[in-house]
């Protein structure tokens, strides 16, 4: 093995320095760790660049997977090479069927911007957003408008064909209802719950099974869609959650 020597130290002793050969350094395996770190960082960079240019639907799908990988994978039939004949439809298939039915509605163009689909850890969420005039429910009332009745009838017809259980939520904005006092006879809590139940009754009339609805929730203004503007009309909404198949 080649040796190098440093100049004599103060005591006059020559200090030998051993230089490791390139072959020994390679055999140590230290370079493998550095290479693995480099490849991992490069892969992460490519994923970030891909996500920056991905569509909103792709981003929602990735978000749903990382929130609940097992449930999401089951719902999408992930990793199943030959799914059973009666395999429940995936969330993408459910959304596709509903969107096709909605596009067939005569007034779809007038309401399409107020219907928002998203994939959450719980399942496929369909938000029916209100406007200032009251798109789907009469302003300040649990009574549905004619547009709301037609929309819920179409949704009910589609959802009734699916095995998935449903959750119905009612939300309001932060605008006080009437006197706004918590002790008043009727307020945002009652309005949110009553609208959710109105939607439930219309869905059942359209064919949704009695045992298909597993929860009805009223949140008032506790879960604002637009927290930056608590009085935004879009905070007033009824949400249908199509749960992942178990």
Global pTM exceeds 0.75? no
Among the residues of 160-225, which ranges form H helices? 188-205
Tell how strand 213-220 and strand 123-129 pair up.
Answer: unpaired
Distance, in Å, from the CA atom of 242 to the CA atom of 194, rounded to the nearest integer, reads 20
Query: Tokens 């179409």 map to which residue?
Result: 154
CA-based R_g, the chain, Å = 30
Half-sphere exposure of 46 (CA within 13 A, CB side): 6
pLDDT by residue, tens only, the chain of 246 residues:
555 555 555 555 555 554 555 556 556 667 777 888 888 888 888 888 887 777 766 766 776 666 656 555 555 554 444 444 567 788 899 999 999 999 999 999 999 999 999 999 999 999 999 999 999 999 999 999 999 999 999 999 999 999 999 999 999 999 887 666 777 778 999 999 999 999 999 999 999 999 999 999 999 999 999 999 999 999 999 999 999 986
CB 124 within 8 A of CB 239: no
pLDDT of residue 42: 85
Task: Look at phi and psi of residue 229 and say left if phi exceeds 0, alpha if psi is from -120 to 50, else beta.
Answer: beta
């Amino acid at each position: 093995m080649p040796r190098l020597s440093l100049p004599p130290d103060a005591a006059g002793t020559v200090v030998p320095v051993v230089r490791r050969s390139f072959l020994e350094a390679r055999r140590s395996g230290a370079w493998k760790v550095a290479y693995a770190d480099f490849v991992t960082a490069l892969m992460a960079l490519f994923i970030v660049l891909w996500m920056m240019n991905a569509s909103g639907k792709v981003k929602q799908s990735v978000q749903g997977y990382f929130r609940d990988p097992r449930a999401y994978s089951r719902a999408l039939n992930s990793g199943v090479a030959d799914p059973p004949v009666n395999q429940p439809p995936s969330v993408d298939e459910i959304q596709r069927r509903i969107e096709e039915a909605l596009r067939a509605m005569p007034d779809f163009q007038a309401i399409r911007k107020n219907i928002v689909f998203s994939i959450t850890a719980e399942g496929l969420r369909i938000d029916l957003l209100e406007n200032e005039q009251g798109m789907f429910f009469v302003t300040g009332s649990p009574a549905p408008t004619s547009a709301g009745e037609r929309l819920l009838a179409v949704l009910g017809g589609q959802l009734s064909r699916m095995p998935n259980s449903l959750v119905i939520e009612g939300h309001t904005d932060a605008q006080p209802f009437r006197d706004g006092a918590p002790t008043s006879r009727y307020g945002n809590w009652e309005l949110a719950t009553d609208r959710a139940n109105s939607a439930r009754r219309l869905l059942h009339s359209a064919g949704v099974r009695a045992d298909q609805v597993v929860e009805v929730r009223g949140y008032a203004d506790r879960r604002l869609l637009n927290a930056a503007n608590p009085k935004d009309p879009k905070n007033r909404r009824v949400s249908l959650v199509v749960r992942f198949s178990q």
